Amino acid sequence: MNNEPFEPRIVAFFCNWCTYTAADLAGVSRLKYAPNTRVIRVMCSGRIDPQFILTALAKGADGVLIGGCHPNDCHYAEGNYKMLRRFQLLKRLLQDFGVEESRVRLEWISAAEGDKVKSVINEMTEQLRALGPLGMPAKFAAWDQEVEELQHQVDEASETEAAHA
């Protein structure tokens, strides 16, 4: 297992009208791309709660891809702008968390751009392959253990203190 190259896992949130349809088009056109992405369909990129992205990363995704309609083309007029604003804020947060910028990506992909689905997924897979795993679940486990040990030490210290008293 360890000899195999690292295969990143990418969770993708695609809007129903543009990017999900574009991914369907990529399929109908039989374009071949890396099998590393799992798509979750939402009606609009505006539905994507930053919590979804953080949860995906926390639960083991190495990257998150968000696909929405091009500016001006949103099926719901402006949901993609709302997503864009949240994305800008989220990027700062992720930076503070030490998550590399290329792990979370926002792309405008119209229903006609099946080839863009292919190129974006391939490019992102390559980038993440080079970057290596994010490994959040393991980090969480390590942090939990660290906290547990600290707690243990605190408990012990207070017990000793109590004994002295």
Residues that bind another protein (CB under 8 A): 9, 11, 16-18, 20-21, 23-24, 26-28, 30-33, 35, 38-44, 46-52, 55-56, 59-61, 72-73, 75-79, 82, 86, 110-113, 118
Concatenating the DSSP letter of every residue in 18-62 gives THHHHHHHHHHTT----TTEEEEEES-GGG--HHHHHHHHHTT-S
Min dist CB 47 to another protein, Å, is 3
Nearer to another protein, 24 or 100 (CB): 24
Angstrom distance (rounded) from CA 35 to CA 56: 17
Q: Which of 126, 124, 132, 141 is nearest to 64 (CA)?
A: 124
Nearer to another protein, 76 or 131 (CB): 76
Min dist CB 91 to another protein, Å, is 16
Min dist CB 72 to another protein, Å, is 6
Nearer to another protein, 47 or 129 (CB): 47
User: Using an 8 Å Cβ cutoff, are 22 and 45 in contact?
Assistant: no
Min dist CB 39 to another protein, Å, is 6
3 state SS of 108: strand
Nearer to another protein, 42 or 106 (CB): 42
Angstrom distance (rounded) from CA 63 to CA 23: 18
